[in-house]
Structure 1
Amino acid sequence: MTQARYDAIVVGGGHNGLVAAGYLAKERLKVLVLERRSIIGGACVTEELIPGYRVTRTSYVCSLLLPEVIRDFRMKDYGFMTLVPEPHSIYPYPDGRYMLWSADEEKTKKEITKFSRRDAEAFSGFNAELLELQSFVDEILRTTPPMFPPRGLRELLEFGKLGRKMLKLGDRKLKLFMELMTASCYDYLSRRFESDHVMAAMSINGLIGTCVGPMTPGSAAIMLHHSIGSSIEGQPGAWGYVKGGMSGIANALLRSVKDMGVEVKTDSEVGRFIVEDGVCRGVSLANGDEYRARLVASNLDPHRTFLKLCDKGTLPEDFTDSIRKFRIQGSSIKVNCALSELPNWTCIPGQDPDAPHQQSMFEIAPSVEYLERAYDDLKYGRPSQRPMIDGNIASTMDDSLCPKGHHVMSLFVQYGPYKLKEGTWDQIREKVGDQIIDTLAEYAPNIKKAIIAREVLSPWDLEKIFGLTEGNIFHGEMTPDQLFFLRPAPRWANYRTPIRGLYLCGSGAHPGGGVMGAPGKNAAREILRDIRR
């Protein structure tokens, strides 16, 4: 059955889809958002684990969300609130030592001194280097990539604008930028630091959600992306919890766009794009319902968008081949737990929920070699026997998530392959969950008995539940060969596609993954530019 017509349809109600829809609605377009699940938010969702215990089920902290998105959608007026722990991270070690990293550089340097006085002094220089690139990175995040390879004078001139921006950096900054884009985390950091503990702590940002290890060339680029992509409450690179869990982002955006006139439908899985004479005219749902529009923006990943929802013959074969080769590999496991008590850390005994170390992120990454060995397991199709864990207990700062005196814990774990060498995820899921908890228990021995309920989400589960191909949280690897004018394919990094009227507005487009809103904002800008022509 054909339904009402719209100016624009956005497929996928994740944060980027809502951002794109809102910017289009601001320009008086009639917009419809279609979401497959029964709730809006994509990976930004808070759901009940067991009655009374709500967990941030997939994404778990806020750091990269663009300040202008928060402002333009009046998100704080619609209930969005961040809770920034101080210190922001604790790094416990097997020998009982630890580091607490803070937004206060001097406090962090004092912690680093426990392991290396030289590294403590080098830390200021490291931060200064990254901050020197902040304005350039901020501009690139908001820039539509030029056509590559360029064809003709006009495209060559557009490409030249990027070259001029890079030349303006000067020799030293340009060399630094290129080093970050090509080096491994280890190579980049070992040129500046000596302590393995310090280098491992910094490497984490280069590994989250990706199929790389700390010694993989290009992993430093991912570290840069997470370290200075944006800021929370004026702290560059800081992480914060969202009041009410990550649904606090989606719900604020949802309320905002609804007030702009955006129509949102849940339980509406799109089965295919309607393409007539090379133009996208709307979508057909899995149940057969059709919605027509002047244009469609897909907030789904490139594989799902082009290889599943586009009928055969509607795309050029060379483009389809490029998309097939676009790497979307699952590498992460998410474990959500309800707790009867807080972890009692060996390094800092005590279970006071107001204690700074209990409110901070906790990072199980004791050495670079430890991280590389965890990655080795992934390469050979095995979940990491001794995984990297990026964890938090947001309920220490947000009592809306669970009953008083109890807590909810989030563990983001590297690594777990989508494609297992042996067995299936249904067969090994809970065993892998046990191994993860066993690893955490080496640092907080009471954690096993504290767990009331647990959910283990493998890459296979992330795909099945959330529609993330292979469980890749970034809609595609974030390595340099898949960034900027190569994301998702050469000559198609400007949010447009070979099908006129079909656009890409999700993390599979520039600048990539993370709860940022930049792909949605940038895509809306290009859509409006086309409409005005």
Structure 2
Amino acid sequence: MTPTLSGQSRYDAIVIGGGVNGLTCAALLGKAGIRTLLVEQRDEVGGCAAESEIAPGFRAPTLAHATGPVRRDVVEHLQLYLHGLTFLDTAIEVSSLSPDGRALTLWNDPRKTAEGLAAWSTKDAQAWPAFHQSLGRLGGLIGFLFQSAPPSIDTPHARDLFSLMHTLSAFRGLPKADQWRLLRWGPMAVADLVSESVETELLRATLAADGIFGAMLGPWSAGSGLQMLLAAANRSLAWPGGQVVAGGPVAFARALRGAAERHGVEIRTGSAVARIDVTDDCACGVTLASGEQIAARAVVSGVDPKRTFLTLCEADHLPPEFSWRISHYRSRGTLAKVNFALSALPSFTGATREMLAGRIRLAPDLDYLERAFDHAKYGRYSSHPWIEFTIPSLDNPSLASDGAHVLSAYAQFAPYQLRDTSWDAEREPLGDIVTATLDQYSPGFSSSVVGRQVLTPLDLERGWGLTGGQIFHGELSLDQFFTMRPLLGFGDHRTPIRGLFLCSSGAHPGTGLTGGSGANAAAVVARELA
């Protein structure tokens, strides 16, 4: 018998999915005094912020090797520093290596970046401080929109109007040139955006990578400029003491779990949800794969929108037009992850130890990025992928034995749907290509590999429930952003089913492992249950 809403429900809210956003939402609901249960299908919470053994004696961040970065309001509201969360004092934002053996570094200090760029281009060295400042101002404005749910299209609340007025005032306070940049840069191709500001090809590619990361977009795709602005918005909201979590993303997830349990949240792992139960057009609980039914006043989904509505909800409970629209919500994964167990620290020409402990990108120019994308357009993975890697064992030696290391690499483009073959057949060949690419920048790299783990978009769907292998739970594009994430009219975390809410990255702002989507959803749910 399907459970119904009643005062005898053991829980006020059930959160489905123990990823970063699900944990954030559950912890904030618990802090608000709402009796909350979090259910996670895997044996450990964390979702994409996972860590696992990739070879005997070697552990690595399984999926994400960096957070979004972590939002400072999430850290402060949940006092995550009381649960072991600390940040590394890093001076480097990202570095890139050139095939000729030179390295380019973007420092957190724009003056230091400009000094380094002088060796590449006097013009870029002079232009960098102003470009960095403009990008920061625009990121700050967009970041303000990230901190609360978008307004309801049909029935905007007074708080929504106040928020929009504040944003408009901030927009009018921008220099006139930045106002025009904001209006132009979002719809632009990121290649055109960066080419207007800098001339060094390696620098252009380093910046443009933010606009295509995890997306089915190339640098000359219209709208890729938006994703670069969203990355700047994330940085504007970061915890001020640093952007890199000590211990990696898994440490963020563990701190969130600690905060959730401190606020009374019950966490059940190994508990897959088979169905969201609905009575009288209102969500009233969940049914687990085991057959157990659990009642609650509200259900909050931390899994992606397609999985939520097309798998967990029965079609009879959704308006036909909504079901049609959500079936066309774009969730095309393009990112693969390759983790390496290494017998020794590899030497990358031009890279210092400080660079290797941070994020390093391998993409010499915009044409290289576009050619990598060309393969994906025709259902093939890139024969020369662009790569971002880090060696987390430099800051966390416990990941490997003495003298050994692990390397974590993102590789793009690797489309979810392959033409004339399957990922089960192409998994290891892709790993070979990534290994060969790293060998070009670090001669002898392959000889130090003692173990390797290759995760394709299909593996992300199978193992972590990411529909289409899309790491952001849906593409970040102009028509799937803000009030339109996931669909126009449902950007405020509510859904067509009363009592069912979204808190995953498929809801606003949807920009990865920041905790932002979970925090915004918690505020909406708390008001509904008050």
Normalising by structure 1, report the TM-score.
0.94
In the alignment, the residues of structure 1 paired with residue 258 and residue 214 of structure 2 have an alpha-carbon distance, to the nearest angstrom, of 29
Query: CA offset at residue 492 of structure 1?
Result: 0.7
2:416 corresponds in structure 1 to 418
Listed as ranges, the matches of 1:447-486 within 5 Å are: 447-486=445-484
2:264 pairs with 1:258: no
Q: Is residue 244–residue 400 contact of structure 1 (8 Å, CA) maintained in 2?
A: no
Listed as ranges, the matches of 1:27-42 within 5 Å are: 27-42=32-47
Q: Is residue 333–residue 459 contact of structure 1 (8 Å, CA) maintained in 2?
A: yes
Structure 1 unpaired stretches of 5+: 349-353
1:427 corresponds in structure 2 to 425
Q: Deviations over 1:181-216 (max 9, x none)?
A: 111111111111122221111111111111111111
CA 1:411/1:157 → structure 2, altered by over 3 Å: closer, same or farther? Answer: closer
Q: Is residue 343–residue 403 contact of structure 2 (8 Å, CA) maintained in 1?
A: yes
Query: CA offset at residue 355 of structure 1?
Result: 2.7
Task: Please state whether the residue corresponding to 2:441 is helix, strand or coil.
Answer: coil
1:122 corresponds in structure 2 to 127
Query: CA offset at residue 12 of structure 1?
Result: 0.3
Task: Please state whether the residue corresponding to 1:442 is helix, strand or coil.
Answer: helix
Query: CA offset at residue 161 of structure 1?
Result: 5.6
2:312 corresponds in structure 1 to 309
Q: Is residue 6–residue 32 contact of structure 1 (8 Å, CA) maintained in 2?
A: yes
2:329 corresponds in structure 1 to 326
2:268 pairs with 1:269: no
In the alignment, the residues of structure 2 paired with residue 121 and residue 172 of structure 1 have an alpha-carbon distance, to the nearest angstrom, of 18
1:351 corresponds in structure 2 to none
In the alignment, the residues of structure 1 paired with residue 161 and residue 478 of structure 2 have an alpha-carbon distance, to the nearest angstrom, of 18
Task: Please state whether the residue corresponding to 1:509 is helix, strand or coil.
Answer: coil
Task: Please state whether the residue corresponding to 1:76 is helix, strand or coil.
Answer: helix
| Equivalent position to 1:104, from 94, 102, 109 | 109
2:191 pairs with 1:216: no
Q: Is residue 147–residue 491 contact of structure 1 (8 Å, CA) maintained in 2?
A: yes
| Equivalent position to 1:286, from 282, 289, 299 | 289
Listed as ranges, the matches of 1:224-239 within 5 Å are: 224-230=229-235, 232=238, 234=240, 239=243
Q: Cα RMSD (Å) of the superposition?
A: 2.0
| Equivalent position to 2:302, from 299, 302, 312 | 299
CA 1:63/1:301 → structure 2, altered by over 3 Å: closer, same or farther? Answer: closer
In the alignment, the residues of structure 2 paired with residue 370 and residue 261 of structure 1 have an alpha-carbon distance, to the nearest angstrom, of 50
2:363 corresponds in structure 1 to 365
Q: Deviations over 1:298-357 (max 9, x none)?
A: 001000000101112100011111111110011000001111112212335xxxxx8323
Structure 2 unpaired stretches of 5+: none
CA 1:344/1:164 → structure 2, altered by over 3 Å: closer, same or farther? Answer: closer
Query: CA offset at residue 164 of structure 1?
Result: 6.3
Q: Is residue 335–residue 411 contact of structure 2 (8 Å, CA) maintained in 1?
A: yes
2:164 pairs with 1:162: yes
In the alignment, the residues of structure 1 paired with residue 87 and residue 52 of structure 2 have an alpha-carbon distance, to the nearest angstrom, of 18
CA 1:317/1:175 → structure 2, altered by over 3 Å: closer, same or farther? Answer: same
More displaced 10-residue stretch of structure 1: 62-71 or 414-423: 62-71
| Equivalent position to 2:391, from 380, 390, 393 | 393
Task: Please state whether the residue corresponding to 1:477 is helix, strand or coil.
Answer: coil
2:345 corresponds in structure 1 to 342
In the alignment, the residues of structure 1 paired with residue 159 and residue 144 of structure 2 have an alpha-carbon distance, to the nearest angstrom, of 18
Equivalent AA in structure 1 for residue 256 of structure 2: L
Q: Is residue 9–residue 33 contact of structure 1 (8 Å, CA) maintained in 2?
A: yes
1:75 corresponds in structure 2 to 80
Q: Is residue 315–residue 323 contact of structure 2 (8 Å, CA) maintained in 1?
A: no
In the alignment, the residues of structure 2 paired with residue 51 and residue 493 of structure 1 have an alpha-carbon distance, to the nearest angstrom, of 45
Normalising by structure 2, report the TM-score.
0.94
1:201 corresponds in structure 2 to 206
In the alignment, the residues of structure 1 paired with residue 45 and residue 166 of structure 2 have an alpha-carbon distance, to the nearest angstrom, of 41
Equivalent AA in structure 2 for residue 317 of structure 1: P
Task: Please state whether the residue corresponding to 2:10 is helix, strand or coil.
Answer: strand
